[in-house]
Structures are given as structure tokens and as C-alpha cells.
Structure 1
Amino acid sequence: MRPNIPAKEVGIVADVQCGGWSTTLLNSLGVIYILGSFIGSVAAGAHDTGLRRLAFPPGYPPTTKNRYEPSTAIQQYSTGRSHILGLSDDGKVWLWTRDQAVQIELLALPLRSGDVLRVVAGCVTDPFLSLSLWFAKTVTGWDRSSVYMKNTGIVFWNPNPHRVTADADTVLTHSSVVPGTGHHRNHQGNQLGSSLASEIGEVTHHIVLEGYIVFTTDNDKLFAFSTASTEESSQSSPVELTTFCSSQGTSSVHIQDLQGSFRSFGVFKSSGEVLTGTTSLIDTFMAVSKSQLPTCALPQPARIASLQYQSVVTLAFGDYHIHALHANGTISSFGVDPQRVGAFGLGHALAAGLRGAQNCRTTHDQKLDGKHRRTIWFEPLMLQWLSYCYVTLQPRLMIDLFPDWVFKSGEWFEQQGSRWEDDIHDGENELPAYFALKVSAAGWHSAALVLVDEEKAEKGRRKHIKEPSGDENTSDTTGQLAASAAWIWEWYCWLVRWFLGLTARDIAADVGGNSTSRGGGRRRVRYVWEDQELPHSAWLPNTDSRQT
């Protein structure tokens, strides 16, 4: 294992996932790379946070471009909060709680190949990929790992990293089976399994949350099972979450997918509905199942407005923030950005207020309620434009005190952002310059796998460049965009400048009017927006009228 490898050595990225303190990549060769640490910045060994390749025990040579090793070529993996579970081409299950893996062996459940029932690959669930192994699915949760096995069902166990010694290459672990999940149909459609399994149906998706396994079946039902102990649970059978059934009351609407992590999950309906719930909702179902409370006490799932009938294909759940990947390749954000660390992906906290993020009065958090879509921008020049707008409007930026102004500002910038690439499509390739293939989230951070059309992105940038006149020199925007990273630091400095006596007009003039060279002795690029009047009167207060 060679730490801090160049990013170009990763090659083609097939999957990206987030752990509690890490981002992981799977490339087309079946190699997993990690950026960050397994157990937080205060943990021993957490200084190894650069991009590095995950390793295997001695005796298991890694797969490379020139040498294929089925025992170490990973074709599906799943990242939990502080551990990673990987499935190799020959059916081995590998566990990482540090940079070197150990092989997992389940007591009383021998691992053998063949006789596959159903296979699904992905971080939690990914219906677009499949494997051909005994294990149909590997899933890691907040504190559990899980596989789905033919004739057995959903199996889960505690990865328990404290039992993994530095020289270990295999770990034997006790496991439990979710009752009634071994049901399946044969090719003739006959029902195979116990009466409980027949009632539940055949498992189609399953996820691991904090304290629960949640799964769907081919009967269009949703169930939850407590994972409070890896020993045989006192819970006799899974509990059905009945309020997630079709709201239209018709059999034509089916459950298409189930996704989630930590304490949140989402159920995707064929009608385009997306229903969300939390472990608190499951707690209530469990309490009702053990008591004589009427079923009217059962909680209803949430129907977040910006997700309904919006072609959502993926939901990524962090601790408090959520991302939605839409079929058009865009990613939207909502929830809570804790401590304004930038979890929404909308830019720095100061400028994110213009995108509709509401500052919390009693905490240092920001909120997006999910009623209206707020799209992540991947184009650096768009973020530069947003920061310019923030500086220009800074004298009036008390909008966090007025929620209506925050909403109107967010709507205006959302509309302007959607028009950024107008008139640049050639008619043959209608994909946007930035097309997101996957999004993942965990903890307070997120990651996305994005397909970038550099030619189309450059056309979009050129559209917003002011044609030089007179003796103004032209220059490529690429060099100018490199300077946009400095804006992040400037955001932190603006408040300091204010207290030092610099007015917002001074700052805006410095940002928008400075024509000194930023590189190579050439004059900087000027942009169309520098000569445009922002229509802020519709959604910002008139500060002059408020003066006394």
C-alpha cells in the first residue's frame, strides 16, 4: 500500500461512496481507494488521510492492470460509518476497519459459491448493476454489516473493529438472520419457504440503518426488523410499515426502490412519489406492535415537495443533509447544514444564503426545507458569479432575518442557474456540461461522480465573457478559473474587512473593477454580469427607507 497516490492513478471510477469521515472510490479494475480516515480525526492513525489504495493480507496479491486476481478484485462494495465491506469476484467477503482488509467468515453459515437467488450491487442499493455470486447483496450500515443469501435470507452481524488485530487475515463472527426473509419463488412461480416467509414475500431491496434493517418485498410491502443484538433477537418477526402502502389505493403503483442510511430512508414508487421516513417513525411502529394501541396512532411518511414526481433516482442521506439525484443529471439539496460547513454543496455559508439557505437563529446551522429545489452547481464560474453577487449586495444582506427574502433570492438564483447553458447545445448531445451519475453522503460531507463535457462547459463560460474592447487583451478562462479558489479565502476575509472600515462598495470595486494582472502579465477577463444590474429590489429591502 502506497499512501497519497496521484489521483490520475485511480483511472476510471465506477462508484463513489462516503463513510463517516472518508470518501471511497471503486475503479474499473476492482480496486478501492480511500480519502480520509476510518474513525475520525482524533483516532490513532487518522493522519493517513490522503488518497491511498486499500490493501489485502499477505498471500493475497492485489489485482492490477497487468494481473487479474479474482480474490482481490472487488466488484461491489459498501461503506459504513467506520468500516467498508467488499465482495470479490470469487465470492470472498472482505472487511476494512483500517487500510488492510480481513476476510469475513460467518459461524454456522459456510460461504460457498453458486445457486444465486438475487444479486444487487451498490452502496446500499443500486438496481442498475448485478453480480453472479452466492451473496446477493452486501450492505454496511451505521454499526452492522449484512448480506442476502439464498435459502437463508437477510444475514447481519456486528463488524466489531476492536476484534481485528494487526496481523489477522480472517475474522470469524456470529451472525443473525432476519426471520421470514428466506422466501423465494422458483422458475415455475411456486412459493418456497415457511408460512411467515410466504406472508412477507420475496425480498427485493434491503438497507441497514441505525438499529434497524428495512426491506421491501415483491408483495409491495415494507418491513423493519430490530438489530439491537446480533444474537437471536427477541423480536419474533419483522414489523410491516403499513403507511408506506400506495396512497392511490391501486395495485398499479408499486415500490421500485428503497434507499437510506443512518436514521433516514426513502421509498420510491412507480408513480413518481418518494416517501421518506426516519428511525423515529420505525420506533413508533415497533411500540404499537407490542401494545394494544390503535393503528390510527401510526405515523405517516413524509412527502417532501421537491422530490415528488421529479424523476428522482437516488437519495443520499448524511447525518442531517440529504441530496437527490434526478434523471436529468442534476443534484438538489435540502435538510440541515450543521455548523454551515458546506454540506449542501451550494457554496460558502455567506453566499449560500442567496441560494435560499436559511440561517438558524439559535445555532450556527443553515436549513433548506425541501419545498423548492435547490440545485448544486459544479461549474466554478457560476460559483464565482454567486460570490460576486454576494459582494455587490452585501450592504443589504440581512436577508437571514427575513425568510420571505431568502426564499425569493433562492428562487431567482435557481432560475438563473438553470439558464446558464441556454443556446449552447448542438442538437446532437443534449446532456448538460455536468451530468451527475451518482451522489453519496455521510456524516457532514458528500461526494458525487460527475461526467464533464469540457467543450460544452467552455462554451457556457464563453457565453458569460464580455468581449474585450480597445487595448484589452483576451485570455483563456482556464487560467482565470484557477483564481476562483481564492474566493473561498476572500469569503472569510469579508467580515474582517468590514470591521476594519472597508465598505461593501470598496470591496465590490476591488472584486469587480480591478483590472490588474492575475497571471502571465495579461489583463483579467471581464464578465457580462459586471455591467448588469441585479434585480434585487424585488426580494431585498430598501435599506435607505429603513434608516432613521
Structure 2
Amino acid sequence: MASGERPRPSSITDLPLDILVLVVPYLDVRSFLALCSSCKAFYQDSIRLDPVYWSYVTRSTFRVPNQPVVQHNGALWQKLYRRLQTQSRVFTWGAAGQGRLGHSIFIRNALGPGQMDLTNIPGIIADLQCGGWSTTILTSKGSLHTAGVLNGETELVTRQTGNSGPQRLRFPVRVPYSSWSISYEEPTISIRQFSAGRSHILGLSDSGRIWSWYSAEKPALHVKFLDVDLTEASSQQSSPANQPLFGRVKKVVAGWSRSSAYVYGIGIVVWDIVSRRPGENEADTVLVMQTAEMPRTGYQRPKGAAKESEEQRALGAEVGVVLNYIILEHFVVFVTDIGRVFCGKFGDHNQVPEVIELQALRNESDTPTDVQGSFRRFAVFKNREVITANQDYLEACWRVRHEVHANNADIPGLQKIPALQKGDVISVAFGDYHFLALHSNGRITSYGKELRHCGALGLSGRYLRGFNRVFGDRQLVPHAYTHGREVWFQREKFLWLEFLESGGTDPDEAAERWHWVESGPSVAGEVSEWIEQEARDWDRNLDIKDDDGLGAHFALSVSAAGWHSGALVLVNQELEDKGARYVWTDQSYPRLRLSDGREMPGTVPFHEWKYGRPEWRLDINVDEI
């Protein structure tokens, strides 16, 4: 600096990026956007689209669950924040018994998705989950609402069919709140995360309190343990940021027939489903006398100068910190921060004597590993792959655990469905016989079968969607597993499909082709793939301007259980209205040149493939899916 010159004033733009990203979480969205617009230095994508900020503000504002696979996509989180404020809708489909779909009026096509009646439910829908006979939603206000009944084996629907929308799950009368608006500000009952099991629901409040519902008609029970000390945040501080984590509940998971929670410093804790005893209608708390703690699940990495014992270091190197877990019918499965997957089999009183590593699922890279599943099936996300399996695989691994030089890496039973290996699958939801995948572009694809044509796959239609009849049930043909079959939410698509299935513009001319499609799964598989391609990019095909690129319908989450399914979908009503154009009324029933060289009969010109005829993987054993 030359003599006499004044030093240049320090600017916030001089701070390194790693310091700036520590500052921005303290800004609300309006302040953050104003900061980014103040100068070019702050308008760069690394700051303006910071994924840490946008995922945090979206999840904290709307209580949206984290999606580890897209955790680093700041642009997507920003778009979701903008659209969640006005566009979240809930769609359900499948078996409609017990009012579980929440439809006040059945939609025209009973096998396709229908919008749930959310009248008089305040707040924005943040999450949904399906139970055995119910569909439950969480609002941004922290309240839970259920359509159907929690236990279809013991409960009846007492509400009128015309008022079959979701009802709010209640708390005991002695819980301190007098109105909905006040209850939203009470951290002991504002639910931040929940889990729907087959016949019960667990909720975790902002303060860290566990609530359990065994009936939609009865208030929740506050769950406490005799042998496990749980800690809650004080009424002044619902966030654990400045409080010790030990004893705090991270998440709850409701399984097929048991309950569980992950407790910091203790690990996965499992207990039986709780309910009130006869004569205890006024009880607001239940003390669980017997719990089971899953071995080797309580490890936490030390912070700062904290030291570890040799035993702790060994546990951290061999197992690691539990990132996520699921409770299946007979097994617990969990993934850790060192890319390993473990399972343990439940015994008497939910006890798990030991856990074993599923060696074939070990992840040696630094990409996120996740596990999702329910009842008897699960999926592991590993290196942009989605690997599916069921309890038979776990049983086979469990049987050889004590053999000399035990190694379960070569045990068969793991599947890699081609349509799930594109690197864009965010989550997979399993029902009893079907499952659905949510993709990062907002699409949902379906797999498996529907018992008694219940509509759980949400595909509507018949052979033109790739169905094959199996003893009165509907099962997808092998062709459908190469690219998947997409769940549609546009009414226009269903009308178009209905028109084609009736023969198109000339049913007589199409009659022979129609019989070809219905005569065997091979032709149905190829024609259904052509239908899939034609329906893809529906909005773009109509030259509709889409400002944020998310389309008229963008699925945010998907769930399945039993014989039904549901999804949280962002609906851009303006785009949907513009897409309601009957531009297909002059189309004929598809006529293709098949992959085996045959030409479908007829007099109309052959239909071309929009994205080219795929190379199908037909070695998928659909009976094992």
C-alpha cells in the first residue's frame, strides 16, 4: 500500500465461500434472495442455489422429509420451495375399502389416481404414508390426518361415505392446547416426522416426544420406556442444536407388527404396539415395560477433542453410524455411514441376538447409501443402483451366519430391475404385491401385480399399459421392467387411452390388431412401450410454456401398503388446464413393426417410435417381484 493511501474497506464478498455458507442459514428466504441479488459475487450458482440452504429451508418450513439421493441438488430444492406454497395435492389409488383413499366421490376411471378430499385441512401437505387400511398425511403445521381406519381387522368406518376425507388424529384431553392454532405452536404435539405401520402410526414431535395411535377414533398415547431414558427439548428450544444429543429421538419407524425409534447414543429401540387397556379410556401415557435394543446400532462419531475407547473405535470401523433403517415383518435392516448394510432377525419379545453384514450390498464408494422397504421387501440404494430383495434373501443370509468362514456375498436373491438403474430413483415404496419408484424428474413408475384388479399400480387401462391376466389378477409383462410404466395424473391421458382401447378412429380396421395385443404378453409388452413413449413429455408435446421445468404434475413423494398407493404431487393448475386439448381424436389403434419381424395387420400407416424401439431385458422373473 502506497504511503498516504487509505485501506480498502472490507466487504462481505471477501469472505471465502465456506464461511458464507455458514452465514446464510440464519437468513429467511426473502433476506437470502435479497442478498443474492445485491451483487454478482452473490448471484453465482454456488451461493444462490446452495443445496444446503434450500434443502434446509424447504424441510424446516414445510416439514418435508429429507431425500438423501437429491440432497445436493440446490436448484431442485429451490423449485420445490416455490411450488409447495400453493400446489401440493394428494392422489391415492387402489383398493378403496374402509375409505382409505379419502375420495368423497369415486373418479371416473376407478383404477387411476384420484385426488384426496382435503377440505378444511389447514396448512400445506408435507408428507403422506399408507398403512394397511389407511392413508395418513402430515401438514406443514405439524398435524396428522388419516383417511380410512388404522386396523381394518378390528375397526369399522363410522363416518358417512360422503365425508370420507381424512380426519385429524387427536391427542389426549389433558395435553395443553385449546385450539388448532395454539397446538401448532406447542412443540410437544407438533409432529415433525411420522411413520405408518400396517395397523398403527408413530409420530415424533418437535420436542422429541413419541406418540402412538392404534385407532383413528382414539387419542394418541405418549410413549415412555422403563429401561430407556429419553430426553426432550425444553419448551424454549425445540431444536437439538444447542443441547446434548444423548437420549434424543432421531426418528420413529412403525413396522408390520412392532414399533421402533432411533435414539442417539443408544441405537434402534423396538417395542410392541401399544394400546389402552379396557377401562383406561382417559390414559394419556403408556410406560413400555419391555424394549429391545438392537446390538451395535448406538455408535456416534466423537466431536472435537472427545476420545474413544478401543471398543468404540472398533465399532466405528466395523459398523459405523446408523444413517437409516427399516422394520420388516421378521427383520431389521440398517445402513451406516461407512457404506455397510446389516440385518438382524427378531426373536421373542422383539429381541435381536446379533446383527450380520449383508456383504454383497457393501458400498466402497463415497456415494450415499440408503435402505427403504416394508413388510417383506426392501431396496438398497448403492452407487446409483437400486437393488431389491425380500425376506427370503435375509433368511438365507441368516442361516449361514455361523458357518465356518461364513460369507453371504454369493447368496442369490438380489435383483437389479433395469428401469431402476438409471441413477435417478429417489425412493421406492412397497405394498403387499406391488411397488412404486419415485424418480428425480417427478415421475412415478409401477411394478408388480394387482390382486383382483384392485388398481394398486395406478396404471388404469388394460393391455395397452402392459398387463397380463394371471388367475384373475393383473401382472405387468416383462417388457415393463426395462423402462417402467408411469403413473399418470392428467385426466387427458386417461381419456386418450380409453379412446385407443376402444379401437381408435376405426374399431373395425383395428379389430385384428386388438386381438393380437390381447392374445399374448409379448405383443402387449411392445405396444404398451409405444404408449409409454407417446405419453412421455405430454406437456412439451403440446408446446406449453413451463417456466420451472417441473411440468403440470411433479410427484414429491410416493407411498404404498397393502393393496393401495398414494403420492404427494405438485400440480400446476395453469399448465394442466392448457394441456386439456383433445388432439388425439383422429388417432388410430397402434400398428407397429414388432421386434421379431412381424408386422401388425391393418391398413393404416405403421406408427413410428418417438424415442426408438428399446432393447428389452426380458430375463426378469416377474413372479419373484
Which band: TM-score by shorter chain?
0.7 to 0.9
Q: 1:295 to 1:139 in 2, by over 3 A?
A: closer
- Distance in 2 between the 1:102 and 1:447 partners? 26
In the other structure, the counterpart of 1:37 is 149
User: Could you tell me which of 207, 224, 227 is aligned with 1:90?
Assistant: 207
Asked if 1:355 corresponds to 2:465, the answer is yes
Asked if 1:414 corresponds to 2:414, the answer is no
Asked if 1:304 corresponds to 2:417, the answer is yes
Q: Using the aligned pairs only, state the percent identity.
A: 35
In the other structure, the counterpart of 1:175 is 291
- Distance in 1 between the 2:228 and 2:414 partners? 36
Q: 1:200 to 1:310 in 2, by over 3 A?
A: closer
| Deviation digits for residues 284-339 of structure 1 (CA, Å, limit 9, x no counterpart) | 01001134576475225211100002400011111111111000001001111222
Q: Is the 8 A contact 2:231 2:247 kept in 1?
A: no
1:187 Cα offset (Å) = 1.5
Q: Is the 8 A contact 1:22 1:37 kept in 2?
A: yes
1:78-227 superposed matches below 5 A: 78-99=195-216, 100-113=219-232, 134-161=248-275, 163=277, 165-173=280-288, 174-188=290-304, 191=308, 194=312, 197-198=315-316, 199-227=318-346
1:350-389 superposed matches below 5 A: 351-360=461-470, 362-369=471-478, 370-389=481-500
1:255 Cα offset (Å) = 4.2
Q: Is the 8 A contact 1:204 1:215 kept in 2?
A: yes
1:16-27 superposed matches below 5 A: 16-27=128-139
Asked if 1:403 corresponds to 2:516, the answer is no
1:492-531 superposed matches below 5 A: 527-531=582-586
Q: 1:57 to 1:421 in 2, by over 3 A?
A: same
- Distance in 2 between the 1:334 and 1:108 partners? 43
In the other structure, the counterpart of 1:455 is 574
- Distance in 2 between the 1:438 and 1:445 partners? 15
TM-score calculated relative to the size of structure 1? 0.76
1:410 Cα offset (Å) = 1.1
Q: Is the 8 A contact 1:146 1:155 kept in 2?
A: yes
- Distance in 2 between the 1:312 and 1:243 partners? 20
Aligned AA for 1:34?
T
Q: 1:446 to 1:110 in 2, by over 3 A?
A: same
1:153 Cα offset (Å) = 0.9
1:10 Cα offset (Å) = 1.5
In the other structure, the counterpart of 2:356 is 239
In the other structure, the counterpart of 2:549 is 430
User: Could you tell me which of 257, 268, 284 is aligned with 2:396?
Assistant: 284
Q: 1:191 to 1:168 in 2, by over 3 A?
A: same
- Distance in 1 between the 2:490 and 2:411 partners? 44
1:63 Cα offset (Å) = 5.9
| Deviation digits for residues 133-179 of structure 1 (CA, Å, limit 9, x no counterpart) | 91011111111211111221111111144758533322222111011
Q: Show structure 2 runs of 5+ residues with no match.
A: 1-101, 105-115, 240-244, 604-625
- Distance in 1 between the 2:570 and 2:561 partners? 22
Aligned AA for 1:276?
T
User: Could you tell me which of 409, 427, 434 is aligned with 1:321?
Assistant: 434
Aligned AA for 1:530?
T
- Distance in 1 between the 2:562 and 2:420 partners? 22
Asked if 1:273 corresponds to 2:385, the answer is yes
Q: 1:353 to 1:310 in 2, by over 3 A?
A: farther
1:367 Cα offset (Å) = 2.6
- Distance in 1 between the 2:214 and 2:477 partners? 34
How many aligned residue pairs are there? 453
Q: 1:133 to 1:327 in 2, by over 3 A?
A: farther
Q: 1:45 to 1:337 in 2, by over 3 A?
A: closer
SS at match of 1:409: helix
- Distance in 2 between the 1:217 and 1:94 partners? 26
- Distance in 1 between the 2:117 and 2:472 partners? 39
- Distance in 2 between the 1:427 and 1:57 partners? 47
Aligned AA for 2:189?
T
SS at match of 1:447: strand
Q: 1:196 to 1:82 in 2, by over 3 A?
A: farther
Q: Is the 8 A contact 1:156 1:230 kept in 2?
A: no
Q: Is the 8 A contact 1:21 1:443 kept in 2?
A: yes
| Deviation digits for residues 84-137 of structure 1 (CA, Å, limit 9, x no counterpart) | 00011222211000122111111111221369xxx99xxxxxxxxxx9991011
- Distance in 2 between the 1:6 and 1:82 partners? 22
Q: 1:345 to 1:240 in 2, by over 3 A?
A: same
Aligned AA for 1:406?
A
1:466-485 superposed matches below 5 A: none
- Distance in 1 between the 2:500 and 2:374 partners? 36
Q: Is the 8 A contact 1:243 1:299 kept in 2?
A: no
Q: Is the 8 A contact 1:244 1:301 kept in 2?
A: no
Q: Is the 8 A contact 2:203 2:252 kept in 1?
A: yes
Q: Is the 8 A contact 2:128 2:567 kept in 1?
A: yes
Q: Is the 8 A contact 1:91 1:133 kept in 2?
A: no
| Deviation digits for residues 238-276 of structure 1 (CA, Å, limit 9, x no counterpart) | 011111124xxxx3354422111111111112x311111
Asked if 1:333 corresponds to 2:446, the answer is yes
Q: Show structure 1 runs of 5+ residues with no match.
A: 121-130, 465-526
| Deviation digits for residues 485-524 of structure 1 (CA, Å, limit 9, x no counterpart) | xxxxxxxxxxxxxxxxxxxxxxxxxxxxxxxxxxxxxxxx
Aligned AA for 1:355?
R
SS at match of 1:414: helix
RMSD: 2.9
In the other structure, the counterpart of 2:69 is none
Aligned AA for 1:531?
D
1:241-260 superposed matches below 5 A: 241-246=358-363, 251-252=364-365, 254-260=367-373
TM-score calculated relative to the size of structure 2? 0.67
In the other structure, the counterpart of 2:120 is 9
Q: 1:145 to 1:155 in 2, by over 3 A?
A: same
- Distance in 2 between the 1:151 and 1:51 partners? 37
- Distance in 2 between the 1:450 and 1:162 partners? 36
SS at match of 2:560: strand
